[in-house]
Amino acid sequence: MRLLTSLFSPPVDTWGGLTRAIAVAQAAQEAGHEVAFCASGYLEAGLIQRGYTVYPIPPATMFGLPARISYVLGHRSSNVSARIRSMLSVGNWWMAMVLSGMARADYLRRLVQAELEAVGDFRADVLLTDGDPGAYLLAVVTGLPLVSTYAHVVTLGIDSWSWRLMRRAAISTLAYYGQPFHAPDKLYFDPSILKIVPSIPELDGADPDRPDVCYVGHLLDGIEIEEPGDWQLESDHSYVFVYVGVGSIGLDKMEKVLSQVFPTNSGLKCLVCARGIKRPYRLNEVEFRSYFPVETVLTRCRWMLCHGRQNTVIQSLRRDVPLIIFPGSVFEQRFNARKVWETGAGVMGESGEFTPRWIEQAMEKRDECALHATRLGECIRSYGGARAAVDAIAGWRG
């Protein structure tokens, strides 16, 4: 099998797709298959650094604006979304396409052309994507089998204004390549596309009995984005790991609240990971860094406090660690947080509830939540991960 993976490459940093893609690539290579990627920007650089064959695709910009303006908007967007009133779910997958400047016919034509050239040069016989719109159009143009990593939440928003913008761009692009019209949801969710779900039915919601749905539990094997530097795990301490990203809790608020929850000599250490931190620093028993080796920390972790992205939730539960989730207003994060809360494996808080008292009360539920987290962790591990995904892809290809 010659597997070409086309990564959704938005203009703002998001590493979830990269970690899943590398997990599948590693398993595919171990099984004797050939792999290559299509990507741009920081994702392209990260793959090249790891020694993969990468075909460059046109970089996207916010709303299709010039790169410099896009950069400024991208760095301000998280602050804006964090101010949206709590308890509101904002956005959908189609809106993410619009924000990323991908719902434009001129961009999609250039994207498909670049990926079409990659197919020819690599001699791909199956396509894999984590949501790149070009891959779905490419599958129609080439007739190659398509596999996508999938989350049921992306089916929201059909017939929204952003869906209609994507529809218009797709019509134009398909016509350019002499192909009939496919609605955006038909392109993404057609039964002819194998959907690899890096989760379990209880946390996702897609029908596991559908022949085009394959749950694999997780796609996270051995993925670390950076080196841990001079940081070392202290074996005589337990930890609370904090990773709160886009659209949730700001760093200044975390400093104020968490330093009260974890005073000096409290017996429990708190580690806060945020990419905006330039130098490590400490407030009482709270350590702030741009990076921690998450898999290592989770071996000594009592809680994961996070924003509710799929990788973070699955990574935590796979290690039997319960979650405290502040999802903010981002639609995907709220979906995942509610699923965790419904299973009993964690608690969900609104942004206005991020206070010392609320967090301390939530942490008192640790024993009860840990039981459910362990149950879900056993289920996640049982699905087989990246190896199961590769077997399913090879079988779908026939």
pTM summary value: 0.90
Which domains are seen in the chain, by residue range?
2-217+384-397 (3.40.50.2000), 238-382 (3.40.50.2000)
Nearest to 393 by CA among 216, 221, 217, 218: 216
DSSP state of 160: S
Q: Using DSSP bridges, classify how beta strands 268-273 and 238-243 pair: parallel, antiparallel or unpaired.
A: parallel
High-pLDDT (> 90) share of the chain, %:
68
283: its two tokens = 């407030």
Average pLDDT over residues 352-359: 95
Q: How many CB atoms lie within 10 A of CB 74?
A: 17
pLDDT at 221: 60
Helices 356-363 and 251-261 meet at what angle, rounded to 10? 60
Read off the DSSP letter of residue 330: B
pLDDT for 222-241, tens place per residue? 555 555 567 778 877 899 99
Close Cβ partners of 96 (under 8 Å, ≥ 6 residues apart): 10
What average pLDDT does this structure show over 15-42?
91
The H or E element spanning position 311 is: helix 310-318
Residues 266-281 have pLDDT tens digits of 779 999 998 778 899 9
On the question of pLDDT at 68 being above 70, the answer is no
pLDDT digits 0-9 by tens, 85-126: 555 667 888 998 898 899 999 999 999 999 999 999 999 999
